[in-house]
Amino acid sequence: DSGVTQTPKHLITATGQRVTLRCSPRSGDLSVYWYQQSLDQGLQFLIQYYNGEERAKGNILERFSAQQFPDLHSELNLSSLELGDSALYFCASSVRGLAGGPLDEQFFGPGTRLTVL
Amino acid sequence: GQNIDQPTEMTATEGAIVQINCTYQTSGFNGLFWYQQHAGEAPTFLSYNVLDGLEEKGRFSSFLSRSKGYSYLLLKELQMKDSASYLCAVRSYNTDKLIFGTGTRLQVFP
Protein backbone atom coordinates (compact mmCIF):
# COMPACT_ATOMS: atom_id res chain seq x y z
CA ASP A 1 0.00 0.00 0.00
CA SER A 2 1.60 3.24 -1.21
CA GLY A 3 -0.56 5.51 0.94
CA VAL A 4 -2.10 7.15 -2.12
CA THR A 5 -5.83 6.55 -2.46
CA GLN A 6 -7.99 6.85 -5.55
CA THR A 7 -11.74 6.62 -6.00
CA PRO A 8 -13.61 5.11 -7.62
CA LYS A 9 -11.77 1.90 -8.46
CA HIS A 10 -13.91 1.26 -11.52
CA LEU A 11 -16.10 3.57 -13.57
CA ILE A 12 -18.30 2.64 -16.49
CA THR A 13 -20.01 5.39 -18.43
CA ALA A 14 -21.26 6.35 -21.87
CA THR A 15 -19.79 8.52 -24.60
CA GLY A 16 -20.47 12.22 -24.14
CA GLN A 17 -20.66 11.97 -20.36
CA ARG A 18 -18.50 13.68 -17.74
CA VAL A 19 -16.75 11.99 -14.82
CA THR A 20 -14.62 13.03 -11.87
CA LEU A 21 -11.74 10.97 -10.53
CA ARG A 22 -10.47 11.66 -7.05
CA CYS A 23 -7.03 11.26 -5.50
CA SER A 24 -5.72 11.71 -1.96
CA PRO A 25 -1.92 11.93 -1.74
CA ARG A 26 0.25 10.42 0.96
CA SER A 27 0.29 12.38 4.17
CA GLY A 28 2.84 15.20 3.82
CA ASP A 29 3.16 15.00 0.02
CA LEU A 30 2.60 18.32 -1.71
CA SER A 31 2.77 17.22 -5.34
CA VAL A 32 0.13 15.27 -7.20
CA TYR A 33 0.58 13.86 -10.70
CA TRP A 34 -2.00 12.36 -13.04
CA TYR A 35 -1.17 9.71 -15.64
CA GLN A 36 -3.18 7.87 -18.26
CA GLN A 37 -2.36 4.29 -19.26
CA SER A 38 -4.20 2.89 -22.26
CA LEU A 39 -4.05 -0.72 -23.35
CA ASP A 40 -0.59 -1.56 -24.67
CA GLN A 41 0.64 1.96 -24.05
CA GLY A 42 2.98 3.34 -21.47
CA LEU A 43 2.13 5.76 -18.75
CA GLN A 44 1.35 9.14 -20.27
CA PHE A 45 1.86 12.14 -18.03
CA LEU A 46 -1.18 14.41 -17.96
CA ILE A 47 -0.68 17.12 -15.36
CA GLN A 48 1.01 17.97 -12.06
CA TYR A 49 -0.10 20.13 -9.15
CA TYR A 50 2.14 21.37 -6.38
CA ASN A 51 0.61 22.78 -3.22
CA GLY A 52 -2.55 23.82 -5.01
CA GLU A 53 -1.02 25.25 -8.15
CA GLU A 54 -0.54 23.75 -11.58
CA ARG A 55 3.15 23.05 -12.09
CA ALA A 56 3.54 21.02 -15.28
CA LYS A 57 1.35 19.91 -18.14
CA GLY A 58 1.71 16.98 -20.50
CA ASN A 59 -0.39 16.14 -23.52
CA ILE A 60 -3.63 16.66 -21.64
CA LEU A 61 -6.69 17.11 -23.80
CA GLU A 62 -8.73 20.29 -23.51
CA ARG A 63 -11.70 18.12 -22.48
CA PHE A 64 -9.72 17.15 -19.37
CA SER A 65 -9.06 19.40 -16.40
CA ALA A 66 -7.76 18.98 -12.90
CA GLN A 67 -7.40 20.85 -9.66
CA GLN A 68 -5.80 20.44 -6.26
CA PHE A 69 -7.71 21.58 -3.21
CA PRO A 70 -6.43 23.21 0.01
CA ASP A 71 -6.41 19.83 1.77
CA LEU A 72 -4.14 18.66 -1.12
CA HIS A 73 -6.51 16.11 -2.57
CA SER A 74 -6.91 16.35 -6.32
CA GLU A 75 -9.63 15.73 -8.85
CA LEU A 76 -9.35 14.96 -12.55
CA ASN A 77 -12.38 15.90 -14.60
CA LEU A 78 -12.98 14.23 -17.94
CA SER A 79 -15.77 15.56 -20.12
CA SER A 80 -17.36 14.78 -23.49
CA LEU A 81 -15.99 11.30 -23.08
CA GLU A 82 -14.99 9.27 -26.13
CA LEU A 83 -14.36 5.56 -26.54
CA GLY A 84 -10.64 6.26 -26.74
CA ASP A 85 -10.64 7.71 -23.23
CA SER A 86 -11.08 4.22 -21.81
CA ALA A 87 -7.93 3.63 -19.78
CA LEU A 88 -6.39 3.26 -16.35
CA TYR A 89 -5.91 6.63 -14.70
CA PHE A 90 -3.23 6.77 -12.05
CA CYS A 91 -2.53 9.43 -9.52
CA ALA A 92 0.90 9.69 -7.92
CA SER A 93 2.28 11.89 -5.18
CA SER A 94 5.69 12.99 -4.02
CA VAL A 95 7.04 15.05 -1.18
CA ARG A 96 8.68 18.06 -2.69
CA GLY A 97 8.09 18.19 -6.42
CA LEU A 98 10.78 20.80 -6.75
CA ALA A 99 13.14 20.69 -9.70
CA GLY A 100 16.66 19.65 -8.91
CA GLY A 101 15.63 17.94 -5.71
CA PRO A 102 16.91 14.56 -4.56
CA LEU A 103 15.22 11.24 -5.16
CA ASP A 104 11.70 12.54 -4.67
CA GLU A 105 10.20 9.29 -5.89
CA GLN A 106 6.59 9.22 -6.94
CA PHE A 107 4.22 6.87 -5.16
CA PHE A 108 1.33 5.62 -7.24
CA GLY A 109 -2.25 5.02 -6.22
CA PRO A 110 -4.15 1.86 -7.26
CA GLY A 111 -5.72 3.61 -10.26
CA THR A 112 -9.22 4.14 -11.59
CA ARG A 113 -10.23 1.96 -14.50
CA LEU A 114 -12.48 3.99 -16.78
CA THR A 115 -14.57 2.22 -19.40
CA VAL A 116 -16.46 4.35 -21.92
CA LEU A 117 -19.19 2.48 -23.80
CA GLY B 1 11.87 16.44 -26.91
CA GLN B 2 12.23 13.22 -25.03
CA ASN B 3 12.39 9.68 -26.31
CA ILE B 4 12.74 6.48 -24.32
CA ASP B 5 13.25 3.03 -25.82
CA GLN B 6 12.95 -0.36 -24.14
CA PRO B 7 12.45 -3.85 -25.54
CA THR B 8 8.79 -4.78 -25.62
CA GLU B 9 9.07 -8.29 -24.22
CA MET B 10 11.63 -10.58 -22.64
CA THR B 11 11.54 -14.09 -21.25
CA ALA B 12 13.78 -15.78 -18.72
CA THR B 13 13.99 -18.84 -16.52
CA GLU B 14 13.48 -18.99 -12.78
CA GLY B 15 16.82 -18.58 -10.98
CA ALA B 16 18.49 -16.89 -13.95
CA ILE B 17 19.71 -13.31 -14.44
CA VAL B 18 18.09 -10.89 -16.86
CA GLN B 19 19.14 -7.44 -18.04
CA ILE B 20 16.56 -4.95 -19.30
CA ASN B 21 18.00 -2.09 -21.32
CA CYS B 22 16.72 1.44 -21.68
CA THR B 23 18.03 4.18 -23.97
CA TYR B 24 16.85 7.73 -23.74
CA GLN B 25 17.17 11.14 -25.32
CA THR B 26 16.26 14.11 -23.20
CA SER B 27 17.05 17.75 -22.73
CA GLY B 28 18.35 18.40 -19.24
CA PHE B 29 18.64 15.05 -17.48
CA ASN B 30 17.78 14.89 -13.78
CA GLY B 31 17.43 11.25 -12.90
CA LEU B 32 16.35 7.90 -14.26
CA PHE B 33 13.83 5.70 -12.48
CA TRP B 34 12.83 2.07 -12.79
CA TYR B 35 9.36 0.96 -11.76
CA GLN B 36 7.78 -2.48 -11.64
CA GLN B 37 4.15 -2.90 -12.65
CA HIS B 38 2.10 -6.06 -12.38
CA ALA B 39 -0.84 -6.27 -14.78
CA GLY B 40 -3.68 -4.00 -13.69
CA GLU B 41 -1.81 -2.73 -10.66
CA ALA B 42 0.01 0.44 -9.71
CA PRO B 43 3.68 0.91 -10.61
CA THR B 44 6.02 0.49 -7.66
CA PHE B 45 9.40 2.16 -7.37
CA LEU B 46 12.48 -0.05 -7.81
CA SER B 47 15.52 2.16 -8.28
CA TYR B 48 16.89 5.59 -9.09
CA ASN B 49 20.11 6.71 -10.78
CA VAL B 50 21.26 10.27 -11.23
CA LEU B 51 25.03 9.73 -11.40
CA ASP B 52 26.91 7.30 -13.61
CA GLY B 53 27.44 3.86 -12.20
CA LEU B 54 25.74 0.96 -10.56
CA GLU B 55 23.17 1.08 -7.77
CA GLU B 56 22.53 -2.22 -6.04
CA LYS B 57 19.46 -3.08 -4.01
CA GLY B 58 19.15 -6.73 -3.10
CA ARG B 59 18.34 -8.80 -6.18
CA PHE B 60 17.93 -5.66 -8.28
CA SER B 61 20.67 -3.40 -9.67
CA SER B 62 20.46 -0.45 -12.01
CA PHE B 63 23.20 1.10 -14.09
CA LEU B 64 23.42 4.50 -15.73
CA SER B 65 25.68 6.05 -18.35
CA ARG B 66 24.64 9.64 -18.92
CA SER B 67 27.06 10.20 -21.80
CA LYS B 68 25.52 7.28 -23.68
CA GLY B 69 21.93 7.95 -22.66
CA TYR B 70 21.75 4.37 -21.45
CA SER B 71 20.55 2.48 -18.42
CA TYR B 72 19.87 -1.11 -17.54
CA LEU B 73 18.02 -2.95 -14.81
CA LEU B 74 19.57 -6.23 -13.71
CA LEU B 75 17.41 -8.81 -11.96
CA LYS B 76 19.21 -11.72 -10.29
CA GLU B 77 17.91 -15.04 -8.95
CA LEU B 78 14.68 -14.59 -10.85
CA GLN B 79 11.48 -15.67 -9.18
CA MET B 80 8.07 -16.33 -10.72
CA LYS B 81 6.73 -13.22 -8.97
CA ASP B 82 9.16 -11.10 -11.01
CA SER B 83 6.92 -11.62 -14.04
CA ALA B 84 5.74 -8.06 -14.61
CA SER B 85 6.33 -4.98 -16.74
CA TYR B 86 9.40 -2.91 -16.00
CA LEU B 87 9.12 0.78 -16.77
CA CYS B 88 12.06 3.08 -17.40
CA ALA B 89 11.33 6.76 -16.74
CA VAL B 90 13.37 9.91 -17.12
CA ARG B 91 13.01 13.17 -15.23
CA SER B 92 14.22 16.37 -16.82
CA TYR B 93 15.85 19.24 -15.03
CA ASN B 94 13.50 22.10 -14.16
CA THR B 95 10.49 19.86 -14.21
CA ASP B 96 9.23 17.15 -11.89
CA LYS B 97 7.31 15.08 -14.37
CA LEU B 98 8.44 11.61 -15.35
CA ILE B 99 8.45 10.54 -18.97
CA PHE B 100 7.94 6.80 -19.16
CA GLY B 101 8.97 4.32 -21.78
CA THR B 102 6.35 1.85 -22.94
CA GLY B 103 7.75 -0.78 -20.58
CA THR B 104 9.30 -4.21 -20.95
CA ARG B 105 7.06 -7.15 -20.21
CA LEU B 106 9.12 -9.87 -18.53
CA GLN B 107 7.85 -13.43 -18.30
CA VAL B 108 9.65 -15.82 -15.97
CA PHE B 109 9.23 -19.52 -16.67
CA PRO B 110 9.87 -22.42 -14.29
When pLDDT is averaged across residues A15-34 and rounded to a whole number, the result is 95
Which chain B residues touch A101 with a CB distance below 8 Å?
Answer: 96
Residues B96, A98: C-beta atoms closer than 8 Å: yes
Residues A50, B96: C-beta atoms closer than 8 Å: yes
Q: How far are the Cα atoms of A1, B3, B70, B84, B101 from residue A57, in angstroms, in the given order?
A: 27, 17, 26, 29, 18
A29-79 pLDDT per residue, tens: 999 999 999 986 789 999 999 999 998 899 899 999 999 999 999 999 999
Task: List the one residue out of A65, A69, A47 whose CA is nearest residue A56.
Answer: A47
pLDDT of residue A100: 42
What span, in angstroms and rounded, lies between the C-alpha atoms of B34 and B81? 17
Look over chain A and give the mean of its residue pLDDT values, rounded to a whole number.
91
pLDDT of residue A1: 84
Query: Letter for the amino acid at A44?
Result: Q
pLDDT of residue A99: 47
Which chain B residues touch A88 with a CB distance below 8 Å?
Answer: 40
Of the pLDDT bands very low, low, confident and very high (cuts 50, 70, 90), residue A97 is low
B91-106 pLDDT per residue, tens: 877 677 889 999 999 9
B55-93 pLDDT per residue, tens: 998 999 999 999 999 999 999 999 999 999 999 999 877
Which chain A residues touch B42 with a CB distance below 8 Å?
Answer: 2, 90, 108-111
List the single residue in A42, A99, A101 with the smallest CB-CB distance to B100: A42
Query: pLDDT above 70 covers what percent of chain B?
Result: 98
Bridge partners (DSSP) listed for residue B11: B107
pLDDT of residue A73: 96
Residue A116 has pLDDT above 90, yes or no: yes
Residues B30, A99: C-beta atoms closer than 8 Å: yes
pLDDT of residue A102: 63
Residues A48, B103: C-beta atoms closer than 8 Å: no
Of the pLDDT bands very low, low, confident and very high (cuts 50, 70, 90), residue A21 is very high
